[in-house]
Amino acid sequence: MKTLRLILGDQLNAKHSWFQETDEDCIYAMFEMRQETDYVRHHIQKIIGFFAAMRSFSDELKTSGHQLSYYTINDKRNQQDLGKNIRRLIEEHQIEKFEYLLPDEYRLDQQLKEITTSLNVPTTCHDTEHFYTSRDELGEFFSGKKQYLMESFYRHMRKKHRVLMDGDQPEGGKWNYDKSNRKKWTGQPKIPAAKLFENNVAGILEDLKSSGIETIGRFENINFPYPINLDQASDQLQYFCEVLLPHFGDFQDALHTEEKFLFHSRLSFALNTKIIDPKTVVDQVLDHYYKNKASIDLSQVEGFIRQIIGWREYMRGIYWKEMPGYAQKNALDNHQPLPDFFWSGKTRMNCLSKAINNSLDNAYAHHIQRLMITGNFALLTQVHPDEVDRWYLGIYIDAIEWVEITNTRGMSQYADGGIIATKPYVSSSSYINKMGNYCKECSYDRSQRTEDNACPFNSLYWNFLDEKKGKLKNNPRMGMMYNLLGKIPDTEMDAIRNRAGDIIENPDNY
């Protein structure tokens, strides 16, 4: 039976059972489409990365003997729409059966369901064989429970998959070493140079230019530095294990003006495009740890594995449990526009300038820059979560909706009302100063609240607590902060409200 099999741009899993044998009656299809480049404005490096990885994967398939129909963005056959391209190939090749891998974005899942109902050939869908969990596992795990605590799910994952376990107890006697993962980096230990690849993408740049695709961000090179195939991702993983892992956990939350990547793995793009799978990553990290226990503390390893089998799988499970309604949640009723400087990086606030320009330059920022710098400011200035979602989804190379929206609308903006986070992740300048050196080089004074040179985060923080009191005052994790808020004199609160109000109305002046 002549079969057409669809591969989406984030389904580049060379180890999938589909590809282990060739079949002359099977044709694979891959499309670069305006449908995908235009639904939000993406960072230029994100589009380059996806196209480069897709083209590399297509070359591997053809080299392995598979039949493939690949439409580049400017291919004259390309109708820039998934349904139209599929129907064209079915007619052109007299296809008798259509197969696809389960998408990890709700919109594509719905689109493919609509497409397949109108096809005149039988259709089947298959698992991507990538994640530890199924779409529904988290929902089943939390069935009947009022809270969906990540820590509970993480422990379930550790037990089920026998990761860092000693019998039925956690290795080392503790489930979570988060308190050991909050050190400030002050210059030691030295951070090794980031491992960068030299993938020549001159042809893709020409294609983007001639197609007229609108992008954000910067790319002043022809060499794309992230891994775009399994060999490169494996090299990146090995480098992380041998060079970065020994200090990863200590400094995973650290911030620094001169260091873009610190000890982070930079594997998220390869993971989220399924170039490399999480089990391979976890198994190699564990193997390296057990062979080098004398030089690597358990806290370094647990901090990393928690992100992979805990946080990443948890976020995907929440996404499929809560969509599509999750994308409309705005529990704190925020409606302000996103400041213009999120697109330019031009602000006098040093922490925001560094985090945003790093994002514009590299399509990258680590999780604390995203959560406690850009996300914190967006929440304190009460930006509509739709605008925050669009920015995060567009600017980061690893941003695919299943992982972006849960981290942004849920963890960062508390727009889901506490499904993911037990409290809003907001702070004044004190946390930013505690975790890095941004404040030291800033034109604003982190010790002031209301003066003209006071750090904007300070008045915004107390104003946020004051304005959202009706929604948050009964949150048990915020009792101490509301007690402190109640002790601020009325005259100072008036000044705080006035300064915060001006920042919210005129953020691009700061």
- Multiple choice CATH, 3-126, 3.40.50.620, 3.30.565.10, 3.20.20.140, 3.30.413.10: 3.40.50.620
Report pLDDT digits (tens) over 428-486.
Answer: 999 999 999 999 999 999 999 999 999 999 999 999 999 999 999 999 999 999 999 99
> If you classify domain 341-509 with CATH, what class do you get?
mainly alpha
Identify the pLDDT of residue 397. 98
- What is d(CA 433, CA 133) in angstroms, rounded to the nearest whole number? 38
pLDDT of residue 81 exceeding 90: yes
Identify the pLDDT of residue 180. 81
Report pLDDT digits (tens) over 349-393.
Answer: 999 999 999 999 999 999 999 999 999 999 999 999 999 999 999
- Residue 450 is given by DSSP the state S
Identify the pLDDT of residue 229. 98
Identify the pLDDT of residue 475. 94
Report pLDDT digits (tens) over 234-284.
Answer: 999 999 999 999 999 999 999 999 999 999 999 999 999 999 999 999 999
Share of the chain above pLDDT 90, in %: 98
Identify the residue whose tokens are 């890095």. Answer: 436
Report pLDDT digits (tens) over 20-74.
Answer: 999 999 999 999 999 999 999 999 999 999 999 999 999 999 999 999 999 999 9
Report pLDDT digits (tens) over 283-304.
Answer: 999 999 999 999 999 999 999 9
- Residue 216 is given by DSSP the state B
Rounded mean pLDDT of 71-81?
Answer: 97
- What is d(CA 341, CA 508) in angstroms, rounded to the nearest whole number? 6
Answer whether 0.85 is exceeded by the pTM.
yes
The model's confidence at residue 182, banded by pLDDT at 50, 70 and 90, is: confident
CA 475, distance to chain mean position in Å, is 27
Domains 3-126 and 341-509 are alike in CATH topology: no
Partners of 200 in beta bridges: 223
Quick check: bond before 489 cis, omega within 30? no
> If you classify domain 137-200+228-322 with CATH, what class do you get?
mainly alpha
Identify the pLDDT of residue 127. 98
26, containing H or E segment: strand 26-31
Residue ranges per domain, the chain?
A: 3-126, 137-200+228-322, 341-509
